[in-house]
Amino acid sequence: MATPDPHRKLSKFLSLVLRHEPQAIGLTLDGAGWTDVDELLTRLHQHGHAVDRSLLEAVVAGSDKQRFAFSPDGQRIRANQGHSVEVELGYAPQTPPELLYHGTAERNVAAIQAEGLVKQQRHHVHLSPDVETAHKVGERHGRPVVFTVRAGEMHRQGHQFYRSDNGVWLTDAVPPQFIELPQ
């Protein structure tokens, strides 16, 4: 059995504390989701995670989805999106491309066709700019299915879209009439 990648394990734990449960290690996020890097490192050490600045930087830089970002001065860190805790990421509305994509597991198809895409515990629905990325997202949850979202049409009808720093498109919901199943 292969040894788990320590960077992946740390990345998952950072997702937990920077997106969902900062209180798990006694961390506090500001209104935009930022926290002090030194405070994060201290709290990680106090909770049994031997992480130094260089390891943290390697995990942030090596994240295939660029889940985390340092502030320009390098003193703070946050998750780029996907929060279930209340934060205001400060993204300005943008005009999306005509088509975006959403990867999910096959077991979710009927519910999505009936209800559309809803944010559930997250702040936004996450959409991918290409089929390949959406497929990878769907694979994480089971047998993947990729929906096409007519984002341009949605936008023209008044729906707002935002683009996170790592290229993920965000919106509040996608009504079923804007969703197409692949042929």
Mean pLDDT across the stretch 27-31?
A: 86
Could you please state the CATH topology (level 3) that the domain comprising 6-79 is classified under: Arc Repressor Mutant, subunit A (1.10.10)
**Residue 114 in contact with residue 176, Cβ under 8 Å?**
yes
- Kindly tell me if the per-residue pLDDT of 120 is higher than 90: no
Same fold, 6-79 and 100-180: no
Lowest-confidence segment of 44-48, 119-123, 127-131, 133-137 by average pLDDT: 119-123
Q: Given pLDDT bands bounded at 50, 70 and 90, which one contains residue 182?
A: confident
**pLDDT band for position 110 (cuts 50, 70, 90):** very high
79-93, 132-146, 166-180: range with lowest mean pLDDT? 79-93
Q: What is the pTM of this model?
A: 0.62
Domain ranges of the chain: 6-79, 100-180
| Residue range 100-180, CATH number | 3.20.170.30
pLDDT above 90: percentage of residues in the chain: 46
The answer to whether 88 and 43 are in contact (CB under 8 A) is: no
Q: In 3-state terms, what secondary structure has residue 68?
A: strand
CA of residue 20 relative to chain centroid, distance? 11
Q: Where are the beta strands (DSSP E) in the chain?
A: 35-36, 68-70, 76-79, 100-105, 117-118, 125-127, 144-149, 162-163, 169-171, 173-174, 179-180
